[in-house]
Amino acid sequence: MGRPSFGRAEGPRTGDRQPLPVLRHPLASDMRDAVLHPPQAAPARYRHFRLTPLSGALGAEIDGVDLANLSDAAFHEIERAVADHLVLAFRDQALDPADQIAFARRFGPVAPWPYARPMEDYPELMELVSGPGDINNFGGAWHTDSSTFERPPAYTLLYCVSTPPVGGDTSYANQYLAWDTLPDGVRAALDGLRLEHSTAKSFGDHARAKGSAAVTTTPVSVPPGHEGLVSVHPVGRTHPVTGRKALYVNTGFSSNFEGRTEAESRPLMDALAAHGAIPEFTCRVRWRPGALVVWDNRCTLHYAHNDYRGHPRIMRRAVVEGERPV
């Protein structure tokens, strides 16, 4: 397989009617030396916990910290660690809903997620329940949370209440690596290009009619005013904390390039989405009750594995408000 290449030398500009470029062989892209995300190989030193990287691409397990009793100094180290490793898995926590909300609030304002009924008495949390009879699962496609919002959440915090005997892992993919490993010409062509992210693609009647809506024990429903919600975001977004650029394309919600039809957009959009999820960019978290994982939605994708049919799985989820992607 050859390097990815464009069908024409010059990249598209928003609004022009030139054909979109073709990205060939995204899985064989020129990976150069960038596949290893440097903090994975040489983590910073932390005084308040031990950190063990999960893969060469992203993710770390954290031991020796109690999230229900956390000093400001320890939290500052956690902020540093999540900026470096993008996904942090804390083991053996005993968090009640109020503890989880309090921890989430240290990252920023915690917004109720409008597409599911919140937990009773805790509007900031939803319980994500997969029942033994479920066929689909919540989050079972590579996505970043709520990219259809004008200001998608910066972080998601998921706490594991119960797991199936095996399965139900969550995979994550580093979208800084995805951006950095695109060939220079491709990156140049994508700069300035924007994508529409559509709620109807994954949720609601439109999605149900197309068979792409998840049907799970936790009902997800689209509230009035959200059915036609579409937000337009750059294909390469700059992280407000690290200043690094990340690919911001996802099969869950991205529907078309601005000014293009879905059909015109699909080949390049699908190729970019496939590039963003190549195995070398990923890590995988195995859940145990008491695990809390926080991830940064601005530079990662995630995928909830649907491989535990017949068994229940229960998680509690909080999302922290983010900013308009630029």
Ligand X SMILES: O=C(O)CCC(=O)C(=O)O
| Proportion of the chain in helix, strand, coil states, percent, rounded to 5 | 20, 25, 55
Q: Of 251, 285, 279, 244, which is closest to residue 265 (Cα–Cα)? A: 251
Rounded to 5 degrees, φ, ψ at 61 are: -95, 140
Among 2-10, 138-146, 176-184, 203-211, the segment contacting ligand X (CB under 6 A): 138-146
Alpha carbon distances (Å) from 291 to 63, 123, 248: 11, 21, 27
Active-site residue flag, 76: no
Closer by beta carbon to ligand X, 247 or else 304:
304
Structure tokens at 62: 């954290």
> Cα-flanking dihedrals φ and ψ of residue 86, to 5°?
75, -30
The answer to whether residue 292 forms part of the interface with ligand X (CB under 6 A) is: no
* Residue whose structure tokens are 């792409």: 212
**73-132: which residues touch ligand X (CB under 6 A)?**
128
Query: Which of Fe ion, ligand X, none interacts with 200 (beta carbon under 5 to 8 A by kind)?
Result: none
Nearest distance from residue 264's CB to ligand X, in Å?
28
Closest residue to Fe ion using C-beta atoms: 139
Q: How far is the CB of 139 from ligand X (least distance, A)?
A: 2
Q: What is the dihedral of CA 69, 71, 76, 82, to 10 degrees?
A: -10
Check if the beta carbon of residue 87 is closer than 8 Å to that of residue 113: no
Q: What is the DSSP letter of 300?
A: E
Closest contact distance (angstroms) between CB of 21 and Fe ion is: 29
Residue 315 lies near ligand X (rule: CB under 6 A): yes
Closest approach of Cβ 147 to ligand X, in Å? 11
Query: Is the CB of 142 or the CB of 257 nearer to ligand X?
Result: 142
Q: Which does 170 bind (CB under 5 to 8 A by kind): ligand X, Fe ion, none?
A: ligand X
**What is the C-alpha to C-alpha distance for residues 324 and 240, in angstroms, rounded to an integer?**
10
Pick the closer one to ligand X by CB: 85 or 302.
302
Q: Which residue is nearest to ligand X (CB)?
A: 139
- H/E run at residue 175: helix 175-180
Concatenate the DSSP letters of all residues of 104-149 into one string: HHTTSPEEPPTTBPPBTTBTT-EEEEE-TT-SS-TT-SSB-TTTTS
Which among Fe ion, ligand X, none contacts residue 275 (Cβ within 5 to 8 A by kind)?
Answer: none
Which residue's CB is nearer to ligand X, number 275 or number 317? 317
Element holding 24 (H helix, E strand): none
| Cβ distance to Fe ion smaller for residue 77 or 145 | 145
302 is catalytic: yes
Q: Which residues pair with 232 in a beta bridge?
A: 196
User: Candidates 72-80, 103-111, 137-145, 195-203 — which segment interacts with ligand X by CB under 6 A?
Assistant: 137-145
Q: Among this protein's residues, is 143 annotated catalytic?
A: yes
Interacting residue with ligand X among 145, 180, 196, 296 (CB under 6 A): 145
What is the distance between the alpha carbons of residues 115 and 234, in angstroms, rounded to a whole number?
Answer: 24
Which of 229/294 has CB closer to ligand X? 294
**Options 101, 158, 269, 277; binder of ligand X; rule CB under 6 A:** 158
Name the helix (H) or strand (E) containing 200.
Answer: helix 199-202
Residue 317 interacts with ligand X (CB under 6 A): yes or no: yes
Which spans of this chain sit near ligand X (rule: CB under 6 A)?
128, 138-139, 145, 156, 158, 170, 302, 304, 315, 317
Catalytic residue positions?
143, 145, 302, 317
